[in-house]
């Protein structure tokens, strides 16, 4: 199997072959501009010293700053961060977010470290990034990723802010706690984006008819791999829309239940027992990957890359694969599923909810004004006047509950969700239109790459670098 970065470039080349851009321009778009490998000592709680390895890759500087998550996992290495940084470049271009792509990580299993050790690792890594100018509001802006969250972002911001005198220091990372400049709606953003994108894909009658499915999410069966932030929130919004969760895979194993698993009950059970296994009413599967092979309408891989490859792809029975994780399908698996008529909603589009809302947070931090603060009351007053006019003209009174619901101005959370929904709908239809233009042999992933390559190429060409 090719390494991860090679897998990304195989898909890039497949799309680039359909375009007429100069070879040198395509080579530049594909290249990783910078990679930084850090090593530093950690004094553990027991007094021993351990050397920690961390990485940060900046793939493209066609837009500034670069943007991408920080993950804590033993798989982190140069190849992985280069591949993920490249995907971030293309992802940002697809959803019209004006960032170059970046990615970083620390090579640890977070379960093996105390919270104080994780804090020391995070702060030291941030210091190393500052030393080499790999972090800053207009330079490179990290965000949460696998096994990281708002707490780690708060530590990174505090470390940067301690050293920097930048007025906009608060914008050096996104995914922060709301009291520290985070934006409402960021926590669930990637999972909500997965839901919005899949819902839009399921709204096209001709595509659903080809799959033998009805339009919409309601009633569809689905399986989720991974109950982290992205997997949990994806499953949550699917369940709220009436979909039926029939299988779950996690670090410790996998379970299935044909008539549906209650997500919140499962989450509470796992919190209590430390495992999803032996969940009442569900069946334990022999291997955690077996959940990927369950019969279902929608499969949501929300864990790590290369989960479905040439050796297991023919066991996948889903009609739709919604890639919530980065790179869960290899290039060979993608081609095989496409040949079988499976609708693959690609990661570089579908999990863009996180970076989209991170963009909103970054804008909020630079403006130093909460979304809705200037307009919320005006919107509410305007709606109130309209409703009162309706009552006067019709002679009917609108009940107080309905009146209050309609007359409420949009707060930050509502505005963020609205912006994310618009972004996901617009981008899906843009890449779907590319598939229609290029013909039935072009899948959504290739179309997404075509969209990204064209947009990045325009940026480079506008600089006058290429003829």
Residue among 74, 87, 110, 62 nearest 8 (CA): 87
CB of 175 within 8 A of CB of 358? Answer: yes
Contacts of 457 (CB under 8 A, 6+ apart): 19, 21, 25, 26, 29
Which residues have a catalytic role annotated?
103
Q: β-strands 49-58, 66-72: how paired?
A: unpaired
Q: How far is residue 67's CA from residue 20's CA, in Å, rounded to a whole number?
A: 28
Residue among 223, 255, 392 nearest 266 (CA): 255
Residue among 350, 348, 290 nearest 320 (CA): 350
Cα within 13 Å of Cα(156), Cβ side: 32
What are the residues facing 243 on neighbouring strands? none
Q: How far is residue 237's CA from residue 355's CA, in Å, rounded to a whole number?
A: 19
Q: How far is residue 133's CA from residue 136's CA, in Å, rounded to a whole number?
A: 7
| C-alpha distances in Å from residue 184, one per residue of 120, 228, 413, 420, 437 | 27, 19, 5, 12, 38
**Residue 43, burial from CB neighbour count under 10 angstroms (0-12, 13-18, 19+):** exposed
Contacts of 270 (CB under 8 A, 6+ apart): 227, 250, 276
Q: What is the C-alpha R_g of the chain?
A: 23
């Amino acid at each position: 199997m090719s390494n991860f970065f090679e897998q990304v470039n195989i898909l890039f080349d497949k799309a680039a072959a359909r375009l007429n851009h100069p070879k040198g321009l395509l080579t530049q778009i594909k290249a990783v501009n910078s990679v930084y490998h850090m090593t530093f000592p950690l004094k553990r709680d027991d007094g021993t010293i351990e050397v920690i390895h961390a990485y940060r890759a900046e793939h493209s500087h066609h837009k500034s700053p670069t943007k991408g998550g920080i993950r804590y996992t033993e798989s982190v290495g140069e190849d992985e961060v280069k591949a993920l940084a490249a995907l971030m470049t293309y992802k940002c271009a697809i959803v019209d977010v004006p960032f170059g792509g970046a990615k970083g990580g620390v090579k640890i299993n977070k379960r093996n470290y105390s919270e104080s050790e994780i804090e020391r690792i995070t702060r030291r890594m941030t210091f190393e990034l500052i030393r080499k100018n790999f972090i800053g509001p207009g330079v490179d802006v990290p965000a949460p990723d696998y096994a990281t969250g708002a707490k780690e972002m708060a530590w990174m911001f505090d470390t940067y802010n301690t050293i920097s005198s930048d007025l906009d220091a608060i914008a050096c990372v996104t995914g922060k706690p709301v009291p520290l400049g985070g934006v409402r709606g960021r926590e669930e953003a990637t999972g909500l984006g997965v839901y919005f994108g899949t819902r839009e894909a399921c709204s096209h009658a001709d595509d659903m008819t080809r799959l033998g499915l009805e339009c919409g999410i309601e009633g569809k069966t689905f399986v989720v791999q991974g109950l982290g932030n992205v997997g949990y929130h994806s499953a949550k919004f699917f369940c709220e829309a009436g979909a039926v969760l029939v299988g779950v895979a996690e670090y410790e194993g996998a379970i299935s239940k044909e008539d549906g698993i209650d997500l919140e009950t499962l989450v509470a059970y796992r919190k209590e027992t430390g495992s999803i296994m032996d969940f009442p009413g569900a069946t334990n599967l022999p291997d955690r990957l077996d959940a990927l092979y369950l019969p279902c309408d929608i499969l949501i891989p929300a864990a790590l890359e290369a989960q479905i490859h040439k050796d297991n792809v023919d066991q996948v029975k889903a009609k739709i694969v919604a890639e919530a994780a980065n790179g869960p399908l290899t290039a060979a698996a993608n081609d095989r599923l496409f040949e079988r008529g499976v609708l693959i909603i690609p990661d570089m589009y579908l999990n863009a909810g996180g970076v989209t809302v991170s963009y909103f947070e970054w804008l909020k931090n630079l403006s130093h004004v909460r979304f809705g603060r200037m307009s919320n009351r005006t919107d509410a007053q305007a709606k109130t006047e309209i409703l009162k006019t309706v009552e006067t003209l019709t002679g009917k009174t609108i009940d107080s509950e309905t009146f209050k619901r309609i007359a409420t101005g949009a707060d930050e959370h509502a505005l963020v969700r609205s912006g994310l929904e618009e972004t996901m709908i617009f981008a899906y239809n843009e890449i779907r239109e590319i598939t229609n233009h290029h013909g039935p042999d072009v899948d959504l992933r290739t179309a997404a790459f075509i969209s990204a390559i064209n947009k990045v190429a325009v940026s480079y060409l506008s600089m006058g670098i290429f003829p």
